[in-house]
């Protein structure tokens, strides 16, 4: 990486020095205004770009409303703020007028009407497909089992995980594939409802395999089903009398279900949500979601309106600007997204980084195809070349191949099923947002500058090291003395400082680095710093807090009289963000 990084940095420096124009942004800290103003100004700047060449800039200058300064520290603060705004799970502000700012509101209105018409036609096509599909499936056991609205039953026996004894000792053990799905569901259900995990998991295992795969893929869908199961358990307890409710602790559980619903913005059962076909016409859903490991994001397509796709294109531009300016941007993307940005081929194993739980389920499916009773296992699983998507991926049922809803998955075609499944969820669902992000990246950087980079190289260049390594930070940092004290006191002070930092939590270390440099992460190497971090020791003073000049990555810390005072003042400073932009 170090060799490729050095080469890439030199190329970016050469590209910057060839430019005479700066990009100047004037923005507000408020999330909605920040997004709107950033989109409008980037569109204005890149709207003038030449068709054949990227529009790189010499320098990015940012000023925040009612805040002083426009140096590199302010720019780093902007990249952090806009990344948090884009990755937020809140709805988007109105962006209709931004894409067509120069064309007037008439164009914007026409675009909205055009988008609405397209959505109506798409919904009609979906309804028609459901009607046709329903007609084909009448009376079929396979398709009755595949019914997406299959109900949960209170009479189902509890699930017994392998950790609580050998499931095969049961007089009527579950089929192997159901037991395997249960083992994956149980710990996730237990995290939501520990007292009823066995009962709820057993209820969920009565759903069709297609539904279970959806629950494994979507945390929200699983939570909705768990809440629905809890309501059934509570209702059953009430029917059996108050004593039964008290014995089982169901009254407390009922309160927890309602509290959980409020926390996650849901007050309806999963069936209610599935039957809800209303549409407010806006395309303001959050831009990203986290399909697998927390902290790694994938584009959420929404309705793929022009304004939304323009958002994704500008995200690509911001990533390009960060690479060009040798700055970090905390937009942490899934591996397959980075590979699309780099023009690399996405393969099946990238799905492990996208959705590790589902990857393991599909891997077990492949292994099952090699067993001696594979035909019987697949017949019992009753899968078809159609999958149910979670709401972040558009919702509803989609066919992986033509007439896929009526084509069963068998040991002979399971490889094609797995490949199509991974391809659809990673690439097909978000095809337009991914394409828009790559176009935005290439608005700033020439395509050949990305040719030598792998997905891992890109992540290190753009995101740096999310975990703050104290030894690395020590090796990067120099001290300047303005206190006039003797060498022994200065050495003791340095030991105090690093001892405090070593004992900080990871979040506190990230807050410290943000306070110090305006970026919550460390660059992957020494070359990523511009300039290197430093600490200036000021004269003795137990009253004032440490301050920072983020443009030059410098901390100013008074020579406090004790380690305890240093710790208190430092933690207070990074929480109040007492930094200055110069």
Exposure string of 312-322, with b = 16+ CB inside 10 Å and e = fewer, is bbbbbbbbbbb
Q: How far apart are CA 550 and CA 73, in angstroms?
A: 5
Q: What does each C-alpha distance from 243 to 155, 197, 507 come to in angstroms?
A: 20, 22, 46
Q: What does each C-alpha distance from 177 to 198, 209, 247 come to in angstroms?
A: 17, 9, 34
CA-derived radius of gyration, the chain: 28
User: Which entry of 311, 329, 390, 551 is annotated as an active-site residue?
Assistant: 551
Taking the alpha carbons at both ends of the chain, their separation in whole angstroms is 33
Q: How many CA atoms lie within 13 A of 524 on its CB side?
A: 19
| Ranges assigned E (strand) in 349-419 | 386-388, 397-399
The answer to whether 311 is a known catalytic residue is: no
Q: How far apart are CA 83 and CA 451, in angstroms?
A: 25
Q: How far apart are CA 102 and CA 72, in angstroms?
A: 30
User: At what angle are helices 31-46 and 306-325 packed, to 10 degrees?
Assistant: 80
Alpha helix ranges (H) inside 161-269: 176-192, 197-204, 209-217, 219-239, 242-248, 250-263
Helix (H, G, I), strand (E, B) or coil at 217: helix
Contact 204, 158 (CB under 8 A): no
Token pair recorded at residue 122: 């798409």
Q: How many Å separate Cα 562 from the centre of its chain?
A: 42
Residues with Cβ within 8 Å of 454's Cβ and at least 6 positions away in sequence, in order, are 342, 344
Tell me the DSSP string of 125-167: HHHHHHHHHHHHHTT-HHHHHH-TTPPP-TTSPPP--GGGS-G
Contact 291, 302 (CB under 8 A): no
Residue 376 burial class via C-beta count within 10 angstroms: exposed 0-12, middle 13-18, buried 19 and up: exposed
Tokens 């699930």 sit at which residue?
159
DSSP state for residue 448 in the 8-state scheme: G
Give catalytic residues, as residue numbers. 551
């Amino acid at each position: 990486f170090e060799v490729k990084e050095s080469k890439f940095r030199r190329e970016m420096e050469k590209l910057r020095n060839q430019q005479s124009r700066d990009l100047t942004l004037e923005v507000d800290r408020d999330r909605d205004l920040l997004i709107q103003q950033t989109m409008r100004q980037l569109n204005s700047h890149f709207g003038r770009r030449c068709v054949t060449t990227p529009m790189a800039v010499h320098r990015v200058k940012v000023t925040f409303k009612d805040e002083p300064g426009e140096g590199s520290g302010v720019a780093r603060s902007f990249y952090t703020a806009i990344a948090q705004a884009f990755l937020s799970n809140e709805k988007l502000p109105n962006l209709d007028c931004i894409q067509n700012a120069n064309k007037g509101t008439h164009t914007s209105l026409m675009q909205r009407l055009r988008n609405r018409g397209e959505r109506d036609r798409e919904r009609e096509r979906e309804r028609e497909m459901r009607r046709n599909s329903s007609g084909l499936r009448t009376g079929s056991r396979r398709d009755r089992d595949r019914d997406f609205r299959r109900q949960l039953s209170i009479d189902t026996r509890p699930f017994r995980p392998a950790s609580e004894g050998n499931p095969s000792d049961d007089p009527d053990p579950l089929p192997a594939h159901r037991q395997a799905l249960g083992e994956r569901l149980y710990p996730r259900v237990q995290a939501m409802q520990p007292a009823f995990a066995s009962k709820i998991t057993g209820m969920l295992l009565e759903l069709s395999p297609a539904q279970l795969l959806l629950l494994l893929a979507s945390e929200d869908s699983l939570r909705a089903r768990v809440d629905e199961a809890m309501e059934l358990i509570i209702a059953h307890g009430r029917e059996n009398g108050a004593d039964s409710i008290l014995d089982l602790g169901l009254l407390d559980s009922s309160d927890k279900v309602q509290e959980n619903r409020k926390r996650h913005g849901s007050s309806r059962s999963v069936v209610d949500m599935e039957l809800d076909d209303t549409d407010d016409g806006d395309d303001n859903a959050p831009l990203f979601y986290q399909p697998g490991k927390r902290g790694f994001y994938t584009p959420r397509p929404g309705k793929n309106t022009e304004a939304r796709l323009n958002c994704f294109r500008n995200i690509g531009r911001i990533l390009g600007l960060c690479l060009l300016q040798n700055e970090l941007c905390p937009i942490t993307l899934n591996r397959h997204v980075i590979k699309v940005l780099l023009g690399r081929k996405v393969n099946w194993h990238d799905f492990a980084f996208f959705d590790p739980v589902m990857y393991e389920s599909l891997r077990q499916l492949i292994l099952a195809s090699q067993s001696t009773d594979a035909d019987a296992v697949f017949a019992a699983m009753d899968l078809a070349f159609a999958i149910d998507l979670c709401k972040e991926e558009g919702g509803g049922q989609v066919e992986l191949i033509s007439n896929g809803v009526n084509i069963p998955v068998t040991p002979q075609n399971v490889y094609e099923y797995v490949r199509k499944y991974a391809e659809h969820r990673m690439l097909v669902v978000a095809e337009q947002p991914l394409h828009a992000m790559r176009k935005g990246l290439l608005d700033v950087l020439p395509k050949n500058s990305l040719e030598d980079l792998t997905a891992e190289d890109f992540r290190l260049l753009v995101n740096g090291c999310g975990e703050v390594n104290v030894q690395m930070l020590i090796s990067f940092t120099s001290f300047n003395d303005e206190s006039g004290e003797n060498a022994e006191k200065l050495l003791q002070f340095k030991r105090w400082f690093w001892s405090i930092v070593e004992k900080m939590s990871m979040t506190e270390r990230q807050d410290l680095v943000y306070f110090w440099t305006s970026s919550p992460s460390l660059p992957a190497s020494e070359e990523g710093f511009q300039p290197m971090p430093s600490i200036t020791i000021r004269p003795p003073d137990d009253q004032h807090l440490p301050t920072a000049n983020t443009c030059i990555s410098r901390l100013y810390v008074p020579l406090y009289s004790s380690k305890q005072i240093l710790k208190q003042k430092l933690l207070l400073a990074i929480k109040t963000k007492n930094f200055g932009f110069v």
